[in-house]
Structure 1
């Protein structure tokens, strides 16, 4: 099935979210992967026609805006509480934030899908 009305995202798990944040902060992308990504984005750019608006420059702006919006979402693991007595409140608040943002901040694949969709959204636009 190609189309789903609703995509269920995972429930909030504070331990997993905290571990993911630590892992994300330590990721180093190998040069070969960076080169491969550059070549892929270049190939996508070449698919965009040279229209006055629905072009690769527009797609680049949409990608940057998407990333900016994703970065403005408060991630549940970014909450800082002063002491251990606040842990229950912190967990409840983090879970509520996760639900409020539909889990986007807790799911890197969803974030990737948003940015990738922004990149390709007008590839074959007729320019009208």
Structure 2
């Protein structure tokens, strides 16, 4: 007794289509997870760069409280930060721009407004992202 198994073309196409949908969905989820993990890592680098740039600006302000228009760039293995220090009427403004080096790296900008009194004491007035 011979059994002949024949699958019709429409059922074969439906099964193939379902397999492709499952594979593509898993692939999309994997790629999405990879990119979100990469972006989360870059966000940590963004804040580390901004913090290092602000720390260096505070060190330079502590050395010389009459800085105006000074710019510097700090390079790290995970990116760079450019910082500009200038004075407004009564405040010192520090502009920061972090540029992480990574696959999905985006620039992050921030601004710190400081008040330096006659004794050289530095007070934070505000810190905000741009």
The TM-score, its normalising length taken from structure 1, stands at: 0.30
Q: Which structure has the bigger radius of gyration?
A: 2
Asked which structure has the greater RCO (Cα within 8 Å, sep 6+), the reply is: 1
Identify, as 1 or 2, the structure richer in strand. Answer: 2
